[in-house]
């Protein structure tokens, strides 16, 4: 059972964005519930990188440390449960968001923050989902340094623009390793892309990945024509989908691809619902930057604006006046 069924803010998702949002709001003495599905995109990774003061810390350890710190805030509740659907309802002449969970709970909140992240769609290549974070990686910024000098195979994944795999191969060759190959259908690589790969001495292996197996340093990729390729590690960018598709659809939120469209404050097309982290994208972005530090920053920013939204509402100022800029020169 949940400690209560009415909250000021419900945060859906216990990744970096969601936990940071809960931390900020709990410190403002807001009654907050964090719903944790326990399904994390980076669950298999043993290290998070480019995170100030926490370089190389396992994501699971970052999560457990944060959950421990939330226990010191009596205003924050935590539950292992998944939000399935939600709708805007009216209680006591005030609009709320009513959330329905997989465990059968109905929760009422004045504001909702969706921080569920994205999910990789790996069905096209057997074993790819199990390989990610262990011997296959998405991001040269997050894992390129550890790939320095290694024999790298970049996999083009069906459903993703071929340019992503090409530029990933070019970048890895430019920054980290002299041994980079690209597995992709040659018919899809034409014009300037073919010239760039040739100039960079990147071998293009004609084909598509069927299966990925192995361990770090000893990876086997079997192609659809049953050719076996070996490398020390692989990079790939699969398609993604929202980890909360049903929830997003139930609220009829504006989306772009796998992401929820938000304004600069993290507010979605529903005025009571905000989004942060990998699931959120601004109108100026084609897709979010999926770094841990970026998710933390967005969780913090969105939580501040949710708190201010509630504060202004308590003053009866649903459309607060703008603060004039300073005249100082």
Write the CATH number for 247. Answer: 3.50.50.60
Residue 327 belongs to a domain:
no
Query: Do 232 and 140 have their domain in common?
Result: yes
Distance of CA 81 to the CA centre of its chain: 19
Token couple for 21: 């949002």
Residue 51 belongs to a domain:
yes
Q: What is the pLDDT of residue 2?
A: 72
DSSP string, 185-249: -GGG--HHHHHHHHHTTPEEEES-EEEEEEETTEEEEEETT--EEEESEEEE---EEETTHHHHH
Query: Do 223 and 251 have their domain in common?
Result: no
Query: Do 15 and 66 have their domain in common?
Result: yes
For residue 27, report the phi and psi dihedrals to the nearest 5 degrees: -75, -15
Is 182 in contact with 204 (CB distance < 8 Å)? yes
Quick count: other Cβ atoms within 10 Å of Cβ 106?
10
Using CA atoms of 242, 244, 245, 247 in order, give the dihedral in degrees to the nearest 10.
-150
Domain boundary among 236, 264, 280: 236
Residue 95 belongs to a domain:
yes
Is the torsion defined by CA of 201, 206, 209, 214 positive or negative?
Answer: negative
Query: Do 260 and 274 have their domain in common?
Result: yes
Residue 320 belongs to a domain:
no
pTM above 0.85, yes or no: yes
Query: Do 227 and 142 have their domain in common?
Result: yes
Query: Do 127 and 114 have their domain in common?
Result: no
Give the integer Cα–Cα distance in Å for 200 and 180: 10
Q: What is the pLDDT of residue 321?
A: 56
Per-residue pLDDT of the chain (329 residues; tens, 9 = 90+): 676 789 999 999 999 999 999 999 999 999 999 999 988 887 778 888 888 888 988 889 999 999 999 999 999 999 999 999 999 998 777 899 999 999 999 999 999 999 999 998 999 999 999 999 899 999 999 999 999 999 999 999 998 999 999 999 999 999 999 999 999 999 999 899 999 999 999 999 999 999 999 999 999 999 999 999 999 999 999 999 988 999 999 999 999 988 999 999 999 999 999 999 999 999 888 788 888 999 999 999 999 999 999 999 999 887 655 555 544 44
Query: Do 248 and 99 have their domain in common?
Result: yes
Residue 308 belongs to a domain:
yes
Query: Do 170 and 250 have their domain in common?
Result: no
Domain boundary among 236, 262, 280: 236
Residue 322 belongs to a domain:
no
Tally of domains within the chain: 2
Domain boundary among 177, 204, 236: 236
Query: Do 190 and 256 have their domain in common?
Result: no
Token couple for 158: 């069906």
Query: Do 109 and 250 have their domain in common?
Result: yes
Is the torsion defined by CA of 302, 133, 246, 99 positive or negative?
Answer: negative
Spell out the residues 6+ positions from residue 97 whose beta carbon is closer than 8 angstroms to its own: 10, 86, 87, 88, 89, 108, 109, 110, 111, 112, 272, 273
Give the integer Cα–Cα distance in Å for 228 and 309: 57
Residue 324 belongs to a domain:
no
Is 108 in contact with 31 (CB distance < 8 Å)? no
Query: Do 45 and 109 have their domain in common?
Result: yes
Indicate the helix (H) or strand (E) that contains 120: strand 118-120
Query: Do 129 and 230 have their domain in common?
Result: yes
Residue 275 belongs to a domain:
yes
Structural domain harbouring 78: 7-119+240-315
Burial of 73: CB neighbours in 10 Å, binned 0-12, 13-18, 19+ = middle
Say which residue the tokens 């216990």 belong to.
14
């Amino acid at each position: 059972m949940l400690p209560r069924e009415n909250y000021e803010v419900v945060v859906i998702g216990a990744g970096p964005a969601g936990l940071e949002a809960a931390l900020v709001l709990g410190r403002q003495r807001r009654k907050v519930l964090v719903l944790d599905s326990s399904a994390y995109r980076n669950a298999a990774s043993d290290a998070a990188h480019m995170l100030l003061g926490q370089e190389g810390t396992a994501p699971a350890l970052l999560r457990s440390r944060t959950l421990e710190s939330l226990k010191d805030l009596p205003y924050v509740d935590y539950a292992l449960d998944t939000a399935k659907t939600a709708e805007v309802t009216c209680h006591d002449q005030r609009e709320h968001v009513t959330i329905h969970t997989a465990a059968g709970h109905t929760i009422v909140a004045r504001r909702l923050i969706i921080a569920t992240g994205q999910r990789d769609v790996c069905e096209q290549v057997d074993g790819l989902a199990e390989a990610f974070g262990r011997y296959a990686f998405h991001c040269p910024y997050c894992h390129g340094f550890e790939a320095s000098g290694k024999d790298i195979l970049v996999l083009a994944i069906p459903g993703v623009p071929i340019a992503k795999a090409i530029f990933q191969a070019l970048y890895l060759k430019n920054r980290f390793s002299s041994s980079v190959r690209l597995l992709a259908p040659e018919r899809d690589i034409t014009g300037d892309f073919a010239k760039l790969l040739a100039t960079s001495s990147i071998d293009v292996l004609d084909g598509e990945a069927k299966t990925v197996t192995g361990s770090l340093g000893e990876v086997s990729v079997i192609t659809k024509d049953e050719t076996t390729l070996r490398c020390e590690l692989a990079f790939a960018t699969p398609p993604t989908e929202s980890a909360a598709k049903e929830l997003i659809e139930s609220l009829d939120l504006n989306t772009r691809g796998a992401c929820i469209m938000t304004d600069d404050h993290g507010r979605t097309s529903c005025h009571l619902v905000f989004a942060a982290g990998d699931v959120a994208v601004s109108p100026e972005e084609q897709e979010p930057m999926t770094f841990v530090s970026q998710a933390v920053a967005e969780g913090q920013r969105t939580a501040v604006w949710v708190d201010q939204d509630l504060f202004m509402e308590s003053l009866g100022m649903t459309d607060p006046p703008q603060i004039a800029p300073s005249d100082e020169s």
